[in-house]
Every structure is written in structure tokens, then in C-alpha cells.
Amino acid sequence: MTTIQPVILGEMPSLSKLYINAAAQAARRRMLGSNDAPDLPDARHEVRGVAADVGNLTAYQHLIGETASDVLPAGFIHALAFPLAMSVMSRDDFPLPLLGMVHLSNHIEQSSAVLFTEQLDITAHVENLRGHRSGTQVDVVADVRAAGTAIIRWRGVSTYLAKGVFLPGIDKPSPTGGRTDFKAPYPTALWQLGVDTGRAYAAVSGDFNPIHLSVLSAKALGMRRSIAHGMYLASRALADVGAVKGDSFSWHVDFEAPVFLPGRVALDISTVQLPGGPWRESDFVAWNPRSGRRHFAGTVAAL
């Protein structure tokens, strides 16, 4: 395997510029026709010496329901790496349109606690372009290491769907049976999400995607109302799992029906632990308490 030298960025890219570029790119592609080579760029983008802002960290922890400790929550690191991941997807040689991509699932593995005082090197790349019954999906991978070291402490794989985009040479997967029926269990928690939930998470995560900010900005992008950030919901579930997960764990979430704001979300967390044995994993599932539709489900497990 050949090692490709990373593209080193001087600083973390600005998300707002990336969103503007994405809009410009979408317009350009509409006029000129889209890139017809269904290949992903090999490039890796890297930013070195990234440090968390402690004020922002505290605001994030309080919003998510984490205790304001010196350890970066796994979802906070996702937010820290997110602009870099976006910068890979907004490259001209990235074959899918960035705007309107749907976050299908997210998988994070963290081997040890990352403190806010640490300088971090973050790398992002895309891989695994593949078909989906309603479009094309791709994985965006971010790796986090302590500055100047080689050991990956945190790895996040975000799977996005470009809805309605079918690239030549990429087949739809054969249908694998229908969705399993979901019967809501008794909830262990009930979240009341205000209409400003998206704005509040945007303020601490930097993700000002208009579909999360207000009814008007969401409608402009074809949504009925604004929706909660998937990673906000998943991070709250992770916080709810609590201290039992320790410093070394995997955290997987599959997103289903979006959570429109304002709204109520019912959550169930069930713990898998043999009698007298150590904690193995906590499974979580969230649904709309009125309609019973599933919003997301996932697992936090010991590594």
C-alpha cells in the first residue's frame, strides 16, 4: 500500500466558508454537469496542534448533559474534527454534492481519554463509496492523535448518504429484507427539545447547517421544520450512558427518522452486564412518544 502524504492545512477550516463553497459548487455542477468519475479522492487532510477551547468545551458539556470534566467527550472530538472532514468532502474531486447529504450512521472508537490540555493532530479522509437503495453513501473517517505521535486515540467514521445521486458503476445493494418492526419499550428518559435546540448545538459544535437553525432556514432547504443535529441526540444518549463506559469504548449510532423541533423524544437505555461481571455494553434507542417512530438506535460498548 502506498502512503499518500497528507495535505496539511495551516488551521482548522472555517465551516461557514465550506458551506458557502458547497453552495457555489452545487450551482457550478448544475450548470456544468457533475463529475462523472465515481472515484473518491485519495487525499488526506490534516491539521496539527489543534487545541480545544475550554469555554466552548464547558458550554458543550453542559448542553449535552455531561459533567464539565477535563476530558473531551467523544462527541466533542467529533465536532472538533468536523470542519476537517467537511473540507475533504468539499474538494472539487469529491464526486458527491456536499449540500443535502444525510447523516446515516456514526461509529467512534476511542482508546483512551483525551484531555482538553492536549494538542491534537487530526487527519480526515473519505472511503468506501457504495450504493444505497436511495442514493450513494460514503464514509468520512477522522483520526485523532496526540500531537507528534502515531497512535490513534480516537477514530470516527461518519456515513453520509447523497440522496437521489446514482453514480455510474455503483450498483444499488440488493434489498436485505424490510425494516424490522419497532415496538417502543418503556422509556427510561424523556427529552423535551425546544425550538432553539439546533441553534444551541450549533453554537457549541460550530455546525451551522441551516436545516438545524430555524424554521425559515430549514424550509429554504426543503425541510418541513428545523431538525435536531443527529450528533446532538447521539451525544446526549452517550452522556446518559454515563461513567460506566470508562475511557475506552466504541460508540455506534444509526439515524432513522429526523427529530423535528420543538419535539419530545423518548429514550430507552438497556445495560448488558453479566451478574457480578463488568459492564459490557449499553444499547440505546430513541423514538417519538406520540407516533412511535424510531429516531435513532445504537450501542456503547467496552473495547
Q: How far is the CB of 188 from another protein (least distance, A)?
A: 4
Evaluate the omega torsion of the peptide bond into residue 95 and state whether it is cis, within 30 degrees of 0.
no
Distance of CA 97 to the CA centre of its chain: 17
Q: Are 273 and 280 in contact (CB under 8 A)?
A: yes
Residue among 270, 272, 280, 303 that touches another protein (CB under 8 A): 270
Residue among 9, 184, 213, 215 that touches another protein (CB under 8 A): 184
Where does this chain touch another protein (CB under 8 A) — which range of 48-56, 105-113, 127-135, 179-187? 179-187
Note whether 16 binds another protein by CB under 8 A.
Answer: no
Distance of CA 248 to the CA centre of its chain: 19
Site string for another protein, 29-58 (x = CB under 8 A): ------------------------------
Residue among 38, 100, 242, 262 that touches another protein (CB under 8 A): 242
Distance of CA 260 to the CA centre of its chain: 17
Name which of 62, 56, 46, 53 is nearest 9 in CA terms.
46
Note whether 4 binds another protein by CB under 8 A.
Answer: no
Partners of 264 in beta bridges? 192
Note whether 179 binds another protein by CB under 8 A.
Answer: no
C-alpha cell at 84: 476537517
Here the contacts of 273-281 (C-beta below 8 Å, separation 24 or greater) are 278/302, 279/244, 279/245, 279/246
| Separation between Cα atoms, residue 218 and residue 283, nearest integer Å | 31
Nearer to another protein, 172 or 264 (CB): 264
- What number of chain residues touch another protein (CB under 8 A)? 20
Point out which residues bind another protein (CB under 8 A).
65, 184, 186-192, 196, 240, 242, 266, 268-271, 282, 289-290
